[in-house]
Amino acid sequence: MARKLEKGEVEKNVKGEQEMVLTDASLYTHNFPVELPHIPKSMSQPFLSMTFTDYDSLGTLELENEYQAIMVYYSNGPIMALDRTTLDLDTRKWLNKYGLKIYLTEPLCSHMVDDRYADKGFHNFNFGFYSEFYNDINTRTFRAKELDSIWKFVREHALTNVTVATCDYDADKYYPLYTEHMDIVYDDLFLKDLRIYDGMSQQHKTEITKKFVCPMWRYTTARYLISTVMAECDSHLSWYFAMAPNMCEQSPWANKKEMDTYYPGFVDRYQTSTAKMNRKAPYTLDFSAENATFVREHAAHYYPAHTDDYQINEGMNPVAYNEKQHRLEKYYKETFVSVHVESRFAQPTGNYSEKAIQSVIYKTPFIIVAPPYTLKSMREAGYQTFSTWWDESYDEEENHVLRLKKIVEIIDWIESLSYKELMKMYKEMVPTLYYNFQNAIDNTPTGTMVPADNDIVHMQWQSEWANKEFDND
């Protein structure tokens, strides 16, 4: 039950005179006229993200009026504080009058109703904490755990003025179940709040000695398939895993039948490469590891388990260290192009993250392995992409295997070029690269690069769902 605030508390709470209010490990509120129930730490969301909790101001939040209520959810999965909240009539009227905007800073934990690949007994996902989608989509079956919590909250309290801001491009087109009760918009607070730290070289490349750089951390299907290609190329590669060559047979979109239909011959290619990689893994760049992590189940949620850096534990993401310490800079400085694989691939809604910005700040052209229309969303954010030099129609390909095929064809073409040819191409790109670099800075909260202190203040995403209490189905 939400605690109703007294008159003085309401006035303070809704006039922006306080910082964000922590409800649990993942949910913050601002301008909210009641105090939401506290969620004990032992029951808090397992995907703890503290990336954006260091708010000095609320400048990145866009309020339509001075009394609009704001929620910011920094995690994945159901929003437990909402699931356990009951609002009185006055609060409902207040929210309907002034509005409620809920920011989701992580990609949606989406799944499909009646998905034969999903874990029916627990979370309804077919891949860790989200689902990978089929090559033929039916939006009527699409659900998302975060939107389920909001949908339930909105209906139970008869709320009529709710906007959900997601980092999933065009999400409103793909989740029709929810749009009758709330507005869903693309408004990526994760990207809005990214900082660019000083300390990296400000100069473009003067020499190329490597064709590709491809840093990866968590295991996903697309990352696995791309790794088998990059391992055969002149590439800086991080890949910490070993597995059976037939692992993708458990995939809803990348199994042999789908591959043979849309990309004949690729199964033999990646299986042959997998056998070679298993003997050499782990492939490491910024963080080393003694042994490869064995992937026993395709749909499981795997992080590198044997890193020998005390700062990185299993289930953590080293992005904070790479942002501030520029541990990958030396690899980017000598490399022609970055092949970066986003957190999601086989889903309909585009999404890009700090991984794309990492290529931008190191003045490196990029091929982005991501859901469709991700490049389109980047262009709408002011970035220039690389269609002058290669075919970027892959970004508009909604069939996941065909999109992968087009990406691999670009990689194969670049691999066939000489360093002299690549350097000539790179020099042509330099104005675009500097433009993107400045655009990235302009898109930060301060519009400037900021000093990098030595303290790493955030670490993203623990790796496991803690218990079944998080399932609401």
- Residue 80: the pLDDT is 83
Secondary structure letter of residue 448 according to DSSP: S
- Mention every residue, 6+ apart, whose C-beta is less than 8 A from residue 47: 26, 75, 76, 77, 106, 129, 461, 462
- Residue 463: the pLDDT is 31
103 lies in the same domain as 38: yes
- Residue 9: the pLDDT is 47
Average pLDDT, stretch 333-341? 96
312-343: buried (b, 16+ CB within 10 Å) or exposed (e) per residue? beebbbbbbbbbbbbebbebbbebbbbbbbbb
254 lies in the same domain as 297: yes
CATH of the domain at 338: 3.40.50
Task: Identify whether 70 is part of a domain.
Answer: yes
245 lies in the same domain as 102: no
Helices (H), 23-112: 80-83, 89-98
- Residue 264: the pLDDT is 98
C-alpha 427: how far from its chain's center? 31
Average pLDDT, stretch 280-297? 90
Find the radius of gyration of the CA atoms of the chain.
22
**pLDDT greater than 50 at residue 180:** yes
Local confidence band at 209 (pLDDT 50, 70, 90 cut-offs): very high
Local confidence band at 133 (pLDDT 50, 70, 90 cut-offs): very high
Which domain range does residue 186 map to? Answer: 3-193+463-470
**pLDDT greater than 50 at residue 53:** no
Q: Taking the complete model, does pTM exceed 0.85, yes or no?
A: yes
Local confidence band at 452 (pLDDT 50, 70, 90 cut-offs): confident
**pLDDT greater than 50 at residue 176:** yes
Task: Identify whether 200 is part of a domain.
Answer: no
Neighbours of 53 (CB within 10 A): 15
> From residue 138, how far is each of 10, 94, 113, 265, 402 by CA, in Å?
44, 37, 10, 28, 18
Local confidence band at 306 (pLDDT 50, 70, 90 cut-offs): low
Local confidence band at 48 (pLDDT 50, 70, 90 cut-offs): very low
137 lies in the same domain as 179: yes
Task: Identify whether 343 is part of a domain.
Answer: yes
- Mention every residue, 6+ apart, whose C-beta is less than 8 A from residue 72: 20, 27, 28, 29, 30, 52, 61, 102, 103, 105, 189
Secondary structure of residue 293 in the 3-state scheme: strand
Task: Identify whether 95 is part of a domain.
Answer: yes
243 lies in the same domain as 283: yes
338 lies in the same domain as 376: yes
Pairing of strands 21-22, 27-30: antiparallel
Residue at token pair 């913050």: 28
188 lies in the same domain as 218: no
C-alpha 197: how far from its chain's center? 20
Q: Between 58 and 322, whose confidence is greater?
A: 322
147 lies in the same domain as 242: no
279 lies in the same domain as 306: yes
Q: What confidence tens digit (pLDDT) does each residue in 63-85 have?
A: 788 889 999 888 888 888 888 88
Assigned token pair, 31: 């301008």
Average pLDDT, stretch 364-387? 98
87 lies in the same domain as 222: no
180 lies in the same domain as 285: no
- Residue 365: the pLDDT is 98
Taking the C-alpha atoms of residue 316 and residue 459, their distance in angstroms, rounded to an integer, is 6
Structurally, the chain folds into a number of domains equal to: 2
* Mean pLDDT of the chain, nearest integer: 84
Local confidence band at 303 (pLDDT 50, 70, 90 cut-offs): confident
Going by C-alpha positions, the residue among 170, 136, 215 that lies closest to residue 401 is 136
Local confidence band at 1 (pLDDT 50, 70, 90 cut-offs): very low
Q: Between 133 and 316, whose confidence is greater?
A: 133
269 lies in the same domain as 361: yes
**pLDDT greater than 60 at residue 254:** yes
Q: Are 449 and 357 in contact (CB under 8 A)?
A: no
Local confidence band at 302 (pLDDT 50, 70, 90 cut-offs): confident
Task: Identify whether 336 is part of a domain.
Answer: yes
**pLDDT greater than 80 at residue 97:** yes
